[in-house]
Amino acid sequence: MIEAIRGGVRLHLFIQPKASRNEIVGPHNGEIKIKLSAPPVDGKANEELIDFLSEIFSVPKRQITILKGETNRHKTVEIVNVSPEQAQKLLLVE
């Protein structure tokens, strides 16, 4: 779910697009489930994910990178300048 990497964290996420609102659901089969209101069309859900994570972690969007899963619900994302402890607290993962 959350891995420490040099200078930040790597998150394993499961994305549910076209939800009524953006929200963190919590652990889901070894990933963190996040609901997004954007549809999975033309990269809109990916853009909204980066915007949402940027807001949650209070980091610039340029510090967030989707490593895997640009066209998939299962995504691997790296965030720079965030500790694993901070990620656990903000993503409601124990």
Q: What is the mean pLDDT of the chain?
A: 95
- Tens of pLDDT, residues 22-31: 999 999 999 9
**pLDDT for the residue 92:** 80
- Tens of pLDDT, residues 63-72: 999 999 999 9
Banded model confidence at residue 93, pLDDT cuts 50, 70, 90? low
| Nearest-angstrom CA–CA distance, 25 and 41 | 22
Q: What is the mean pLDDT of the segment spanning 15-24?
A: 96
How is the chain classified by DSSP, letter by letter?
Answer: -EEEETTEEEEEEEEE-S-SS-EEEEEETTEEEEE-SS-SSTTHHHHHHHHHHHHHHT--GGGEEEEE-TTSSEEEEEEET--HHHHHHHTT--
Give yes or no for a contact between 48 and 59, defined as CB atoms under 8 angstroms apart: no
- Tens of pLDDT, residues 4-13: 999 999 999 9
- Tens of pLDDT, residues 34-67: 999 999 999 999 999 999 999 999 999 999 999 9
| Nearest-angstrom CA–CA distance, 14 and 31 | 6
Task: Please give the domain boundaries of the chain with CATH numbers for all domains.
Answer: 2-80 (3.30.1200.10)
Give yes or no for a contact between 91 and 2, defined as CB atoms under 8 angstroms apart: yes
